[in-house]
Amino acid sequence: MLEHVLLLTIWAISACGAPSPSGLGGRFHIDQVHNRNARRNGPVEYAFAHAKYHAPIPKGLSKTMAAIKKVNINAGNATGEVPSWPQELDIEYLSPIMVGEPAQMVWMNLDTGSSDTWMYASTTGEGHKGDQKFYAPEVSKTSTHVPNTSWWIEYGDGTYASGDVWKDTLSIGDVEIKNMTIQTALMASVAMVTDVNMSGLAGLCPNHPSTVMPSQPTLLEKLEPVLDEFVFAADLRYQDTGRFRFGHVPKSDYEGEIHWARMNKTSKFWQFDINSVHVGGTNILLQSTWSFIADTGTTLMLLPMDLTKMYYDQVPGAEYNEWYDSYTFPCNETKNLPSWDFQIAGLNGTVPGHYIAYTNVTEKLCYGGIQPWSAETYGFGILGDVFLKAVYAVFDVQNKTVGFANKKVRA
């Protein structure tokens, strides 16, 4: 699944403590804890986003990815709170979730850009899983196999996972979801297997059906009768503890008011419009309507070319690098990067410049957290974690709206 999983070594996080349940029925939150030992790889994240949305990977980036793969192959020898450990620095967030009776803990990636809930299992074939914690349905007293049902996920870069389907109890903190659809992997590509921490993925996409055939209820559909309010929020943080909250959105989590944007009626994703964009420190302002999706499973901000170019035109020495098919800039400009200011449904918000300084690609060359995307072709741009760390994002499933509020951000 995740292209960056193939290329970057993921280390188990042993310093973090166990989750401590607390809270009220029908609402819970999942904390996120920053992994300071992990690494970033901008081109890998950019390629993964293309693969996830079945977009052709640009020629230069494709060659770069092939070279990186070759190097790695040759070197390859309701109620409760649960901590979540991000992998690869700020890139991937894992949450411990319990499955079955007696409870088995698995580490899941919460993804608002997907609807599948799948995990490695005892039935996963040899060579198709690594040392991840996995689900063993045969030892659960509450598991039931769903006959004549299967699933298959394939990404644009050729990575895949597939398998069969079970029903079992899924527990997050003290919240129990009975007869949850559990997609167990019988096969998975090498790119997934090399992620030594991730047990699977929990999809939170609203209108996109899962890949299970015949169709089965998704995680959001099963959460609806359990939650006090059919809503969840993502409070991601820059190099700091963040949080997913389900069932309730307290005012203490954010500043001011939540501004609500109506979801695109025909979209399968959390899609909404941005009304204006301004690059900090300049008088350049574009007023138009751009459509975006909020995706916790994508790292970068992927913008239409006009917005991307407008930003990097304000960064001395920044250029479009044909080797990566991406924008890079001199690392000595990192502390001077302008902010990316926006307006959504009347909310004026800011992504600080240092959030956009994503990572080094060489000693002197840095990779930007804003990159171009063919929004005209795909109908939307993608606002991933670089953007979401700067806002409080609320996903209202019941009312089909996405809300944004300001919050204190890390300087």
Helices (H), 362-410: 375-378, 385-388
| Residues belonging to the chain | 411
- Report the candidate in 131, 147, 403, 162 with the shortest Cα–Cα distance to residue 294: 403
- Report the candidate in 378, 379, 367, 375 with the shortest Cα–Cα distance to residue 312: 367
Handedness of CA 205, 392, 397, 225 (dihedral sign): positive
Per DSSP, 339 falls in state P
Based on the residue annotation, tell me whether 325 is a catalytic residue of this protein. no
Contact present, 220 and 236 (Cβ < 8 Å): no
Based on the residue annotation, tell me whether 111 is a catalytic residue of this protein. yes
- Report the candidate in 310, 377, 316 with the shortest Cα–Cα distance to residue 342: 310
The end-to-end CA distance of the chain, in Å, is 33
Residue tagged active-site, from 31, 111, 235, 325: 111
Buried b (16+ CB within 10 A) or exposed e, 116-153: bbbbbbebbeeebbbebbbbebeebebbeebeebebeb
Report the amino acid identity of residue 313. Answer: D
- Taking 3-state DSSP, the helix, strand and coil percentages for the chain, each rounded to the nearest 5, stand at 20, 40, 45
Residue tagged active-site, from 116, 195, 235, 295: 295
DSSP for 43-79 reads HHHHHHHHHHTTPPPPHHHHHHHHHHHHHHHHH---B
Handedness of CA 36, 39, 41, 45 (dihedral sign): negative
Residues acting as catalytic residues: 111, 295
